[in-house]
Amino acid sequence: MDKKQFEKILSHPLFLGIFTCLCLLVIISLRESSKQALVSKESIQKLEQSTEIIEQELIEEQQKIDEKQEKIILEKIMRNELLQKKEGEIILQIPEKEINNDHDDNLESHSSGPLKEWKKLFSFQENY
């Protein structure tokens, strides 16, 4: 192709019209893309703000839970170890030995098998 033919094609009104339309389409497309990017950026900022708010609420709730746990632990220590009571309450203290003996008896009766039970039964009858 000659330089004259190339200039002739570029200066043709149909080519200029098509080229102008393509340029306008590109410009419109770029504007729409920038609008979508702006909307996406705004939505990301809103989500980040809501995330920060939720995180702060979570931290506050966790602190409340920790405070309540500390109160419960302190009350447990006061009641069990210091034997303090609230108004109108009666405290009964059961010695630990009795609890352990009862627990050991229960374990023995549960751990004994049928063979031991039969031996107990026969030894009980021989004593009579």
Would you write out the chain's pLDDT as a tens digit for each of its 128 residues? 688 888 888 888 898 899 999 999 999 999 999 999 999 999 999 999 999 999 999 999 999 998 888 888 887 777 777 666 677 777 666 777 654 555 555 555 555 677 787 777 777 655 54
Tokens (6 digits) for 114: 């049928």
Q: What is residue 11's predicted lDDT score, i.e. its pLDDT?
A: 84
Distance CA 121, CA 13 (A): 119
Give the C-alpha separation, 49 to 70, whole Å: 32
- Predicted confidence at residue 43, as pLDDT, reads 92
Helix crossing, 13-80 with 3-10: angle to 10°?
70
E strand segments, 3-119: none
| pLDDT computed for residue 1 by the predictor | 64
Q: What is the pLDDT of residue 69?
A: 86
Nearest C-alpha neighbor of 78 from the set 95, 63, 91, 61: 91
* The pLDDT value given to residue 62: 93
Domain boundaries, the chain: 51-83
Cα separation of 11 and 109, whole Å? 109
